[in-house]
Every structure is written in structure tokens, then in C-alpha cells.
Chain A
Amino acid sequence: MLESILLTIATASTPLLIAAIGELVVERSGVLNLGVEGMMLMGAVIGFGVALTTGNPWLGVLAGIVAGAAFSMLFAFLALTLATNQVATGLALTLLGVGASGMIGEAFVGQPGVKLTPIYIPGLTDMPFGRLFFGQDPMFYISLLLVAGVSWFLFRTRAGLTLRSVGDSHTSAHALGIKVIRIRYAAVAFGGACAGLAGAQMSLVYTSQWIENMTAGRGWIALALVVFASWRPTRVLLGAYLFGAITIAQLHVQALSPNDIAVGAGPLWFLSEAGRWLLSVLKSVPAQFLSALPYLATVVVLVLISRNRRLTLINTPACLGRPFVPDR
């Protein structure tokens, strides 16, 4: 039972993680794209549609990535080339994404989807807890590789340094001859691709069906995670899993009965007593509170670990959300 709970947690956390790590790169370059939710939905619906018509989930994943990136270029053109207000443009992108994905996906509602199958390595996957490490769906491994890759790129490569410099001071970067707009385009495209991938994960792995507005606010949570994680990839990983874990845990708590605890605790009677007491407390609070718990706990934990104001400010992209217009 524990293994299956952990597996659900991983599946629930993965889309948050993928979308947030993409937005982290965007924000590190100094751009605030509030269109994550919209880009996720576009990735979800197009990924689902392509997988359904071709029967190949991998083509669906690819289509989701391309759809997210292409959709983000609309934002990039408005916010970077035309230097519109990034907040308003990002909100518009989300609204457009919600509407457009609903329209595109009308024919797909209720259709059984194509599921991306988990990997299976004979022997390893069959070990105790083997499914956790060697038997998950490919998106889980991709999401972890993305975190490691982004972390390495940002802090270990020259290109990553250039990207951070653009986010820190676009005027200085421009004076040095760094192509500010071009770098921001690339960052926004990466963020869009990640959001599209996160959407495809939802429609091809998490639920393997298309439901209108199926991301249900995950794009917004990903955005918040980036800020609360003070723009650090490892903290985004922590935040995404914390959020996923508490979301799943509170669902299980709501479904638990005192008997389950006694069974789970076995002969350890004191655990069973403590568990019963905890359950009775949790059951006595309104269910809405439990539903709000993931948000609350994630914010509290990430705020507590970001108490070092100096470190936070150093990691904050100083140009975040400020349009750049070169004087030429």
C-alpha cells in the first residue's frame, strides 16, 4: 500500500515539477510568463489528440512539447518584441489557452486515451519498492533529468551564466553586447515546451483522457512554486513533491477508517492509538481545510527555508517582469 501511495505522489508531482522548472528558466532570464496554465492545457489537448489519432503516445508527448513552445511564442512576440506588459500578456495567454484547448478538445471528451506505459526492467522492477525506482512512467525520469539538467545549465555553463545575467540587469547585458531579446525568446520557448510536456503528462499518464480545463490550476501552483523556491531548481523539486505528497496524503486520510490504522500498525499498539487519535483530529476539521493543506504546507515550508534574505535576493532575477526596449 505504501508503495502505491508513493507512486501516486510521484505521478501527481511530476506535472508541477516539469512546468515549474521550465518557468524557472523563463524567470531567471527576467521574464514573467503567467501563461503556464494556458500552455499546459494546449500541451495536454494537442498531446492527447495526436496520441489518439496516431495511436503512439510518444508522438503525443512530442506534439505536446511543440504545442507548448509554439503557444509561448505568441507571448514572446507580444511581451518581448512589442514590449507589452508581461503580467497582462501572460494572463491573456492563459485565458486564450483555456478557451482554445476546450474548443480543440471538444471531440476528445469521453474518449479513452492512449497511455504511456511505465518502464519494466525484469528483476529490478520486481524487487520490493522496485516499481518506485525502476518501474515508473518515462515522464517521471524525464522530470528528474530536467531538474538536474537545468541546474547544471544555469550554474555550470557559460550560456547559463549569460541567461542569469540577462535576468539580473538587461541594460548591463545589452551594453556588453549580449542579445537580450534573443536569449529571452529562447528561455520563453523552453518554458513553453516544459509546460506543454507537463500538460501531455497529465493527458497521457496521469489521467490518460481529455477533460476540459483538466490542469485545474496546476499551472498557477507551478508559478507559485518558482517564487517560493526562490528560483532554485532543487527547491522547486522539493516544493513540487511536498505539494504532491500532501495532496495525496490528505485524500487518503479522508478515505481512511480507524480500522485501517489498526491493520497498518499491526502489533505496535501505541502507533495504532496515536494514529487513531491523529485521524480523529483530522476528521474533525472541515474537509475544505484538508484540501487547502497542500497549499498551506508548501508555502510555509518554502518560506521557512528561504529565511536567508540575502541568498533570496541574490537568486531573485532583478529584472523580472520589466520590459526591455533597447535604445537604438
Chain B
Amino acid sequence: MGTELAGEPATGPGLLLDVRGLTKVFGSLIACNSVDLQIAKGEIHALLGENGAGKSTLVKMLFGTLAPNAGEIVWNGKQVRIGSPGEARRLGIGMVFQHFSLFEALTAAENIALSLDSTTPISAIAAKAKELSHSYGLPLDPGSLVGDLSVGERQRIEIIRCLLQEPDLIILDEPTSVLTPQEADKLFETLERLRGEGKSILYISHRLEEVQRICDRATVLRHGKVVAHCNPRQETAGSLARMMVGGDVHEVHREHPDHVEGAPLIEIRNLSQAPKGPFSMPLRDISLTVRAGEVVGIAGVAGNGQGEFFDAVSGEAVQADPATVRIRNIDAGTLGITGRRLLGAGFVPEERLGHGAVPGMKLSDNMLLARHTSDAKAFLGGGALGFIRRDAIEATTKRVVEEMDVRKSAEDPEASALSGGNLQKFIIGRELDRKPSVLIVNQPTWGVDAGAAARIRQALIDLTRTGSAVIVISQDLDELFEISDRIAVMAHGEMSPTIPIQEATREKIGLLMGGADTGAH
């Protein structure tokens, strides 16, 4: 069990960074509340915490993009004020961002040049980057356009860019959330090599296995406060999770039937689609059948065609051939979203604010926007005039809120006033309330806290018990292993055959995510 004593804070001359009482306040929210953090030379230090615990705010203050309200930063024994990323870089602090700070319309070399203060010509920077990338085994083509690169390749650019500045401390913000397991292994090798060279690493993650594997010490944040310093190798995943969440996490319960014999509820046949823009993926001959009572998980590194697949199945991108998408044995390929919803399908897109819900509108209005046609009988009155029946809509909204345990501050708040997890619960509940025969969800728990994520996963499983079919697209392999009956993997716009969960291993899925051909097609 982690205590304040377990991972004794390093002191003395070996200390690279010593943060004392760092505080950041946004309006009424204390994002970081008197945070202490010590990082020694040559250590990999984990910063653990749930979404919204204040990890990103803390590192933004260390990198000079946010100004702290209180507290001090001591760097190499000297008190410093870090006013800008430029100053942070000059001190020797490098950063690899979670949502990469890259420019899609520029080349890799240009991206690297932009973060270097020097006036070295870009050709020289390109040569240096290429050399460094090869010596670390992270091959990189400096002339390629970032918009054309995979997420893993983009991260390489970030890492090489960071290394070229020869930093003493490298901050990595959730680096593996976008990588295949194999790419993550490669990253860990690089990090261990850097530690061997005497560099320090601040590793931010909520993935406990990784932290236990590579980190020497950990600082755990919860609601902006440090709740523990510990040695992650002396902890269990369960004890670390309890520190992060502050209680036990509800475990999702499901039994996997060996054989699903339900009727096919959604069939996708030979779905191919040209790329819609310069940075979008084509879809290549995708076929998938999902039967009543099963959850099929779609794994894959972000940007391998999952978004395009969701759009094609939901009807946002209408197909030319009606038979490419069949919902409950009816050709639906040429139907739009409303048409497919009328056939009993429900859809939850990836982007909550702006796609799944209108941020500035009340929950009840968002309810009507999604279900105006599929529930016209309940929600609209006056025949062709279509008067809005507020009472019916508000009653349904209330039912969904209660059913999914959506926590809100007002009776009928605007969608943007809800936290990410609560809004996601509302959006999924809005679809579940219709008891859809087919539900397709893209990234159901992205950026959602552990409690809400467990609630959402349980709701998806419960839906299949009533004889519905569910497709879950997710980057989170743990999630897919937890809820899926079968898993398919998308890579470069192609979909692998599905693998029954009993036969699926992380290694197998990881290889497919990296685009390895299993020879199974």
C-alpha cells in the first residue's frame, strides 16, 4: 500500500527538479493544489492520475505554457521562473506532447526546425534528425509531410525534436495512448537507453502496467492534490488504482458465450471508399457481420480508418450500393443517418461536444436533435406542423439522466456544462433508451474517468443481453478485451477478420494494429 514514506523523495545533489507547493487556479477550479514533485537525475518518474487530476496542468507549468499562481520550481539547485517554452528548453526541459504539437501541412524537418532556437539551415537539421533517429532506432524521413504520417511516426518526430535539444529532463504526456503494444515496447527501450545516458524522464500515464514496468518512482495526483509518492514496483495495479481513484473501481461483469447463434443484425459487405481528403484514410473491402447478443470490438491505432468506417456505417457517408450496409436484413447503404436510425440502429460518434451534442444547447434540446424523426410520435405533436412536446422530451431526458447516473449541476444544463464522463453517459444513454437493435459506438470511454467508464461498459454489455448487436470502436485494448466477444483490427483502412476473444492475445492484436498481415484474408 502506498504511503508518503514508500518512495522516499530524493534529496541532495542528485536532485534535478524540485517542485514545491505549485498551485494553479482556473476561476473556481483549483487544477493544481500545492503540488510537490522531486525528480532525481537518471530516473524515470511516473506522474499518475485520472483524467482531470491536474497532470497536464502541472506539466504545462513546468514547460512554461501556463504560469503558476503560487509555488516554486528549483532546477539543479537554483530557483527558476519558467515563463515560456523557450526558457524551459534553454534550462534543459524537453516535452513530448499528448495531442502532438505538430503542423500537418509542414514536413518533419520543418516541424523540428520550428522548435529549435538556432538559425541552423533546415537541410542541416534534417540531416542531424535523420542521424539521431537512426542511432535510436526510430527511423524517420525528414522530408515527409506530417499529415501523411501515422500517429506512431508523428510521435517519433516529437521525440527526435525533443532529443535534438539535448534536454536533461524529458516530459512525456500519455505517450503510449496512441501506440500499438509493439511500438510502445520500442518506446520503452528508447526511454531506458536515455535513462542510461543519465537523462531524467517524467512519464505521465494512467496505464498502471507500463508505470510498474519502467518507472522508478511515482507521484500520484487526485483532484489536483498529491495523494502519494511511491515505488510503483512495490505496489500492485489494484493499489495504484485505488490511490488514483480514491476508492475501488467497479469491475465490469460479463460471461463470454462460446458460440453466438443470434440472427445477423448488421452486415457490412465489401465496403470500399476513396479517401475524402488529403489526410484521410480510404476504406478497403471491409466485411463484417454482427449477430444479436454479441459485442464486436474494433481495435486499431488512431487514424487507420476507424472514423471513416464509423461514418460509412452510421450513414454520415452514404454509400452508392445499398447492399454494402444491411441493418436487420434491409439494405441501408444508401440511407442517411435518420433512415438507418428508423431501422433500429443507434450511433455514438467519437467527438462528444460538437458532434454527439451541441455544446450550447440544453440536454433536452440535444435529446430532440438526435431523436426528432425516430421518436416523432412521442416528441412531436400537431401532425404536419410538428410542434415540440417539451413535457415528453423533458420526461425522457430525466429518465436517461437517472438511468445512466448523469451528474449535473442544474435541472436541464447545457451540454458543455457537463464533465466529459457525464456527457458521454448522457449521449450513450440517449441511444440506449431507444433500445436499439444495433448500436455502434466510437471511442465510448475516451477521456472519461474510471467510474463512468465502467458504467458505460456495463450498459453496453447489458444491451446485448436483450438481444441487440453492438460494435465498439476503441483505441483502448483493455476496454476491448473486457467487453468484446470478438475483436477485429483496422490498419491502413483494412479490417482484419474477427478473432474470438478466447483466442485473442495482446500480442496478436498488436501485430495486426501495426499492419502485419496474418495471411488470414
Contact = CB atoms under 8 A, between A and B. Distances in A.
A314 B103 contact: no
Given A175-B65, A313-B277, A168 B104 contact: yes
Given A176-B115, A318-B104, A161 B110 contact: yes
A177 B102 contact: no
Contacts of A165: 103, 106, 110, 114
A162 B113 CA distance: 9
B277 A171 contact: no
B278 A313 contact: yes
B66 A328 contact: yes
Chain B, interface SS category:
loop
B101 A175 contact: yes
Contact of A158 (B103, B106, B119): B119
Nearest to B161: A176
A165 B111 CA distance: 8
B106 A309 contact: no
Contact of B101 (A176, A313, A315): A176
B145 interface: yes
Contact of B113 (A161, A173, A175): A161
A178 B114 contact: yes
A321 B264 CA distance: 48
Given A313-B277, A328-B66, A177 B86 contact: yes
A309 B280 CA distance: 12
Contacts of A169: 101-104
A174 B65 contact: yes
Interface string A176-203: 1110000000000000000000000000
B101 A328 contact: no
Contact of A175 (B85, B104, B277): B85
A310 interface: yes
Interface string B82-119: 00111011000000010011111110001001110001
A285 B179 CA distance: 64
B277 to A, nearest CB: 6
A131 interface: no
Given A161-B113, A176-B115, A314-B147, A168 B84 contact: no
A171 B101 contact: yes
Contacts of B252: none
15 contacts: A161-B113, A161-B114, A165-B103, A168-B105, A168-B106, A172-B101, A172-B103, A173-B103, A175-B97, A177-B84, A313-B279, A314-B145, A328-B65, A328-B66, A328-B67
Interface of B: 64-67, 84-86, 88-89, 97, 100-106, 110, 113-115, 119, 122, 145, 147, 277-279
Given A168-B105, A172-B101, A178-B114, 9 more contacts: A168-B106, A169-B102, A169-B104, A172-B102, A175-B85, A177-B64, A177-B88, A309-B278, A318-B105
